[in-house]
Structure 1
Amino acid sequence: MTRSITRARHRWLTIAVAVAGSVVLTTAPVAAQSSAGSAGSSSGSAAADAEFDTLCTPTESGLSEVSGLVSDGDRMFAIGDSGTDRTLWVLDDECAVTGSLPVPVTPVDVEDLAMSGGTLWLADTGDNNRARTSIGLISMDPDTGAGEHRSLVYPDGAHDAEALLVGADGRPVIVTKEILLAAGVYTVDQSAADLPEGPTTLRRAGQVRLGPTDTPGGPVPIAGSTLVTGGAVSADGRVVALRTYTDVYLFSAPDGDIVAALTGSGPIRVPMPNQPQGEAIAFTPNGDLLSASEAVDGPLQPVQILRRATALVPTSAG
């Protein structure tokens, strides 16, 4: 989400704060609730003694609105959202810029990054006003920048979405960002690389409800703890992460099925550092979890790291 919020959007956020606040006053914060279709919901649990540390702080002004982040172990790839999403930045483990690549297709609003099979996938899914007739995925070669656009259409009208998950099978899963509603889980039945240029109609595969929690952070108190702002899949495909402005939720996916993980049993919740507008999340190949935030007119925010994040989640198929 960009820093510029329309007046109508601001009214909705005000309503969300008021309603979510009344919920928190009457019920204790829960770790997570997830449900597939109309099935019942289940609660997750908070991870004990799991804390993020500071890895490094970027100095590149083009990352003032960082919204998507990926790591291949040697490099971090980062991109801003609408207005700053024409360039993909390449960083080392000290957040120094080692290169940049122009995005091969002009996007509307890139909100997340994923990597699968050596290909970067940019989620051109941002839609603050819920007015887009289609969204898209943009492929990028991380070395040359070459890529293509695939057009996607929701089966039930426009949604805003900031989380893209791509597992070992290459199938994309998009999780929407909903105010006062469960987030929708949408996918297709083929890998992103096999999608035609478009349009392809997404399939609603379930829903997931996160929060509310009392973790501080984000641009809107309490309600921000329920809004999905980013996603990531571990290198082995066995752990799926969704984040809000305030917390990250780690789901077990022992068979690599992202949809089943999100719509199944409760995840592990880890409170995140107080970030002004945290939207980026990424696993490293060794199972650490990286987090980044937009600056929101302040100083550039550090990249945070939760070491051995995947070890927090039981992943045995039994």
Structure 2
Amino acid sequence: MSRRFAPVLGAAVMALVAASPAAAQTEAPDAEPYCVPTDPGLSELSGMTVLDGTVYAIGDSGADDRVARLDSECAVAEWLPNPVDPYDVEELSSFEGSLWLADIGDNDRRRDAVALTRMDPAAGGAGELHRLTYPDGAHDAEALLIGSDGRPVIVTKDGLGTGGVYTADTSVSDLPSPGPTPLRRVADFAPSATTTPGGPPLLDGSRLVTGGGVSADGSMAAVRTYTDLYLWSVRDGDVAAAFDSAPARVVALPPQPQGESIAFTPDDEVLLGSEQGVDTAAALPAVLVLRDVAASTPAGPEATETADSEAPAEPTGSILVPLVAAAASVGVVVVLTLFFVRRLFRSR
């Protein structure tokens, strides 16, 4: 998420009244610090990917003019300049030796086209722009997944948690430059409201998609929110088709100030990155690693059955009391939101 929080905060206030009561999630898996970034250029860490065993990272709007190549301690070994002037890069992926910068942020939903920027890290960051257009108007998005078939998959974060899944009919390697290439909508995705802690204050972080990734062998796709992780089994490299089914597994994530990035290592460990969040005086958050999530997630035909048995169930009983409580507190939330926005912009 870029620094322009106001539109999202407004949606979060509405969500307090409109959303169903939170559903229980599976227990957060054990996480360990993988490394701790120290370069202030990574305070807005929004996208990560692993290419040839090396971790690359990028910030979002205002910090997306370069990509960091990290060493094993998360120190910046090299800054690679973005080969194009970005609008709002929110995600980073990789495919066939190239980095793919997802310039897909659009908080105000006013862009006629979004873009993917190819970057060659072996050539000092040289690359080119590839524009994409949605079939149904502008969308805000922070998640790009590229499967082994090479097709880009963008998951948006529209409305009160309901987003769309969009893909192109060609591999990223064959996208025309500058384009545009039309996208088509292939599925809907609405993260569940959960009680998992984490994310910026005053936001229902469990309902906002903030990042995505695909395992090194292409057999698993992941989408994260600020608080939870959704995993799908992928067949024949077709990530878009995986969204036709319920997730194979949904797990609560360890709390992070503003978790917006996810990447798979070659060993299928899951890396989780976070922006610094609203406390700009704090140290940069550690990149966390989950070592057994992918290996313990069912694949193949078992995926649908597991999703049915493990998916968070809606609570039974009357929802009148939670709704009345939410309605009664919405005025307080509005005041707190305005206070938060003022402090946020004053701190910037």
Fold shared by both chains (TM-score > 0.5): yes
Q: Which has the higher helix share?
A: 2
From 270, 288, 291, the equivalent of 1:304 is: 288
Residue 220 of structure 1: CA displacement?
Answer: 4.6
Alpha-carbon contact 1:122-1:139 (below 8 Å) kept: yes
Separation of aligned partners in 1, 2:16 and 2:286: 27
- C-alpha separation in 2, matches of 1:182 and 1:223: 13
> What's the CA shift for 1:119?
1.1
Residue 92 (structure 1) aligned to one of 35, 46, 71: 71
**What secondary structure is seen at the aligned counterpart in 2 of 1:210?**
coil
1:208 equivalent in structure 2: 189
Q: What is the aligned partner in structure 1 of residue 23 from structure 2? A: 29
- Taking the aligned partners of 1:221 and 1:86, their CA distance within structure 2 comes to 29
Does the alignment pair 1:13 with 2:7?
no
Structure 2 vs 1, CA of residues 231 and 49 (structure 1 numbering), >3 Å: closer, same or farther?
closer
CA distance in 1, matches of 2:269, 2:76: 21
How far apart are the structure 1 equivalents of 2:222 and 2:291?
14
What letter matches 1:3 in structure 2? R
Contact 2:205 2:226 in 1 (8 A): yes
Aligned length in residues: 297
Tell me whether 1:289 sits opposite 2:270 in the alignment. Answer: yes
- 1:78 matched to 2:52: no
Distance in 1 separating the partners of 2:4 and 2:162: 24
- Consecutive unaligned residues in structure 1, runs of 5 or more: 32-45
- Structure 1 73/94 Cα, relative in aligned 2: closer, same or farther at 3 Å? farther
* Correspondent of 2:115 among 132, 136, 147: 136
| CA gap 1:54/1:140 in 2 versus in 1, 3 angstroms | same
Alpha-carbon distance between aligned partners in 1 of 2:218 and 2:108, rounded to the nearest angstrom: 33
Tell whether 2:218 aligns with 1:237: yes
Name the residue aligned to 2:251. 270
Q: Deviations over 1:287-317 (max 9, x none)?
A: 0000011102232111000013320222236
1:233-255 per-residue CA deviation (whole Å, 9 max, x = no partner) reads: 00111100000000111111133
Q: Which amino acid aligns with 1:313?
A: T
1:181 is displaced (CA, Å) by 4.5
Q: How much does 1:260 deviate?
A: 1.9
Amino acid at match of 1:307: R
| Matches for 1:118-133 after TM superposition, within 5 Å | 118-133=97-112
Note the alpha carbon deviations across 1:10-63, whole angstroms, 9 max, x for none: 32222123433xx11xxx5165xxxxxxxxxxxxxx3x6722211111001000
Runs of 4+ in 1 over 6 A off after TM superposition: none
Alignment RMSD, CA only? Answer: 1.7
Residues 181-220 of structure 1 mapped to structure 2, 5 A cutoff: 181-197=161-177, 198-220=179-201
Kindly state the Cα deviation for residue 271 of structure 1 after the two structures are TM-superposed. Answer: 1.4
Closer, same or farther: CA 311–293 of 1 in aligned 2, 3 Å: same
> SS of the residue aligned with 2:13?
helix
Aligned-pair distance for 1:267? 2.7
Partner in structure 1 of residue 242 of structure 2: 261
**How far did residue 9 of structure 1 move?**
4.2
Supply the AA of the counterpart residue of 1:124: D
Question: Which residue does 1:67 correspond to in 2?
Answer: 46
Structure 2 CA distance for aligned equivalents of residues 53 and 139 of structure 1: 32
Q: Give structure 2 stretches of 5+ with no counterpart.
A: 303-348
2:129 pairs with 1:158: no
Counterpart amino acid of residue 283 in structure 1: F
Write the letter of the residue equivalent to 2:2. T
Does the CA-based 8 Å contact 1:238-1:256 persist in structure 2? yes
CA shift digits 1:104-134 (9 cap, x unpaired):
1111000111111111111000001111111
Q: Helix, strand or coil: the match of 1:311? A: coil
Structure number, greater radius of gyration? 2
